[in-house]
């Protein structure tokens, strides 16, 4: 593609001990949108030596390096020192910068300690980036050859506005890049990769592909120089994987299902067993889902299936809770109970125990019920307990979407 290379460096021992890192997804997208090829991200501990080595390596191989964290006032905020060691640059104290920090906190009625003087040390040749949300200033350096190194504060509420307002406008943009994402369900990553092979293995000049997968879903990401190129690629994608394609860009299964239900004028109810509320959580993650989602039953025990989704004792005795008959009765029962237009049910064995030769771990039955009829489908999902549950919820969302969309087209 010829786009300049960018790297992201996150500093913080807490990130290596399990604290979620929200910075990399945000910065990767914003840098990619600006025309940079984000080739690497890494996280290092609050160690001057680790920071030094990481900054030295990244700044030697990439046009832009964005480092986050380690700019606070405490003893373990060592990004300034590590960067100075990596670049062989001096740090100098800026009294005026410290006075500005003091004035800011006095206006807020907050007293700060003398430790905050550490935040007024600036790398030789750096441009100071003011922090309107906190105390730690950022720094931007233009290195030999036009390479750029940016130091940003760690808190997301401070980092993101500083990056948007003071960094992105100064970064040199690479070639214009157009991006598109296609989202699929009901096909494994390996099968999608095999079918898309003739397209993605020979992308042609100016085109790049990436295939990403999560339990129950596959994404194809494409970067190209023009929208016309992306349109041609999309036509091939639809010919190859059309039955599995449910959305583009920011679409999710739950948002697409919500739109389809609104267009159809339908309401939805669900009876969940092995997914334990995961389907409902995904549905209600969409703003405005109360327009079409009435609620449901977390029908985990057999007694709850009988009480709240009207599964008969005879069905449970003859076929068991994990059966097509039970799935159909759960879907029909919850639809009738809540008066919805569409009823969905999920029942299965998520594991790791509880399976048998006849009904192995990963066996899931889904049910759909409308006024026109009630149906069930059998699935056998691979993976651990969390993956089986996630795949079952995705499959239920996808099947409900396809059925609702089919009624819209009539």
Domain boundary among 145, 170, 195: 170
DSSP 8-state symbol, 169: G
Q: Where does a domain end: 248, 268, 301?
A: 248
Residues 158 and 268 in one domain: no
Distances (CA, A) of 369 to 140, 204, 268: 59, 46, 10
Task: State whether 55 and 36 are in the same domain.
Answer: yes
Which pLDDT score, from 0 to 100, does residue 351 have? 95
Q: What is the CATH number of the domain that holds 384?
A: 3.90.950.20
Determine the Cα angle at 203 with ends 202 and 209, to 5°: 120
Question: Could you tell me if 146 and 14 lie in one domain?
Answer: yes
Virtual CA dihedral for 256, 258, 259, 263, nearest 10 degrees?
A: 140
157 with 16, same domain: the answer is yes
The reported pLDDT for the residue numbered 409 is 57
Counted domains in the chain: 3
Give whole-number Cα distances, 348 to 129, 200, 253, 385, 393, in Å: 55, 36, 21, 11, 11
Examine the fold and report which residue of 248, 272, 289 is the final residue of a domain before the chain moves on.
Answer: 248
Residues 291, 399: one domain? yes
H or E stretch covering 399: helix 385-409
| Co-location of 111 and 224 in the same domain | no
CB 350 within 8 A of CB 310: no
Cα 94 from Cα 92, distance rounded (Å): 6
What is the C-alpha to C-alpha distance for residues 92 and 118, in angstroms, rounded to an integer?
A: 10
Residue 57 shares a structural domain with residue 138: yes
In a 13 Å sphere around the CA of 317, the CA atoms on its Cβ side amount to 3
Could you tell me the CATH number of the domain that includes residue 238? 3.30.70.2860
Distance (Å, whole) CA 219 – CA 24: 19
Residues 372, 258 within the same domain: yes
Six token digits for residue 266: 């339908």
pLDDT tens digits for 106-141?
877 777 777 889 999 999 999 999 998 888 999 999
User: Do residues 14 and 153 both lie within one domain?
Assistant: yes
Question: What pLDDT, on the 0 to 100 scale, is given for residue 410?
Answer: 47
Burial of 193 (0-12, 13-18, 19+ CB in 10 A): middle
Q: Which residues contact 391 (CB under 8 A, 6 or more apart)?
A: 215, 216, 364, 379, 381, 383
- At 135 the pLDDT is 86
Per-residue pLDDT of the chain (410 residues; tens, 9 = 90+): 467 899 999 999 999 999 999 999 999 989 988 888 899 999 999 999 999 999 999 999 999 999 999 999 999 999 999 999 999 999 999 999 999 888 887 877 777 777 889 999 999 999 999 998 888 999 999 999 889 999 999 999 999 999 999 999 888 555 567 889 999 999 988 999 999 999 998 888 878 898 988 888 899 999 888 889 999 999 999 999 999 999 998 899 999 999 999 999 999 999 999 999 999 999 999 999 999 999 999 999 999 999 999 999 999 999 999 999 999 999 999 999 999 999 999 999 999 999 999 999 999 999 999 999 999 999 999 999 999 999 999 999 999 999 998 876 54
Residues 325 and 239 reside in one and the same domain: no
CA–CA separation, 130 and 139 (whole Å): 9
Q: What is the pLDDT of residue 44?
A: 97
Q: Which of 365, 323, 319, 324 is nearest to 346 (CA)?
A: 365
Res 203: pLDDT: 83
Q: At 282, is the secondary structure helix, strand, or coil?
A: helix
Q: What is residue 33's predicted lDDT score, i.e. its pLDDT?
A: 81
Separation CA 158–CA 151 (nearest Å): 12
Q: Are residues 236 and 296 in the same domain?
A: no
Residue 207's domain comprises 178-248
23 and 154 in one domain?
A: yes
Please name the residues in contact with 48: beta carbons below 8 A apart, sequence gap of 6 or more.
Answer: 78, 81, 82, 85
DSSP codes joined into one string, 91-141: EEE-HHHHHHHHHHHHHTT----GGGGGGGEEETTPEEE--SSSS--EEEE
């Amino acid at each position: 593609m010829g786009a300049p290379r960018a790297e992201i460096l996150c500093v913080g021992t807490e990130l290596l001990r399990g604290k979620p890192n929200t910075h990399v997804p945000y910065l990767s997208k914003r840098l990619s949108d600006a025309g940079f090829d984000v080739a690497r991200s890494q996280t290092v501990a609050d160690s001057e030596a680790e920071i030094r080595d990481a900054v030295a390596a990244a700044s030697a191989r990439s046009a832009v390096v964005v480092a986050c964290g380690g700019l606070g006032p405490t003893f373990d905020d060592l990004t300034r020192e590590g960067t100075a060691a990596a670049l062989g640059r001096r740090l100098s104290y800026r009294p005026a910068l410290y006075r500005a920090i003091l004035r800011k906190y006095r206006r807020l009625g907050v007293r700060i300690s003398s430790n905050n003087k550490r935040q007024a040390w600036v790398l030789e040749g750096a441009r100071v980036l003011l922090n309107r949300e906190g105390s730690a200033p950022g720094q931007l350096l233009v290195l030999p050859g036009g390479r750029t190194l940016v130091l940003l504060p760690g808190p997301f509420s401070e980092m993101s506005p500083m990056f948007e307002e003071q960094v992105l406008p100064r970064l040199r943009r690479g070639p214009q890049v157009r991006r598109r994402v296609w989202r699929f369900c009901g096909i494994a990553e390996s099968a999608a990769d095999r079918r898309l092979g003739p397209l993605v293995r020979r992308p042609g000049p100016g085109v790049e592909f990436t295939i990403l997968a999560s339990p129950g879903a596959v994404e194809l990401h494409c970067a190209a120089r023009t929208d016309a190129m992306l349109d041609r690629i999309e036509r091939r994608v639809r010919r190859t994987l059309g039955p599995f394609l449910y959305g583009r860009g920011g679409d999710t299964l739950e948002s697409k299902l919500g739109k389809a239900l609104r267009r159809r004028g339908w309401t939805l109810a669900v009876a969940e067993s092995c997914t334990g509320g995961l389907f409902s959580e995904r549905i209600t993650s969409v703003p405005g889902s109360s327009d079409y989602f009435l609620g449901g039953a977390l029908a985990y025990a057999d007694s709850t299936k009988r009480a709240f989704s009207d599964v008969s004792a005879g069905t449970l005795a003859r076929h068991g809770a994990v059966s097509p008959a039970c799935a159909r009765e759960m879907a029909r029962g919850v639809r009738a109970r809540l008066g919805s237009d569409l009823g969905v049910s999920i029942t299965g064995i998520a594991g790791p125990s509880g399976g048998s030769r006849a009904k192995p771990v990963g066996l899931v039955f889904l049910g759909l019920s409308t006024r026109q009829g009630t149906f069930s489908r059998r699935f056998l999902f691979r993976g651990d307990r969390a993956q089986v549950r996630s795949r079952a919820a995705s499959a239920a969302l996808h099947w409900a979407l396809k059925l609702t969309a089919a009624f819209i087209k009539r």
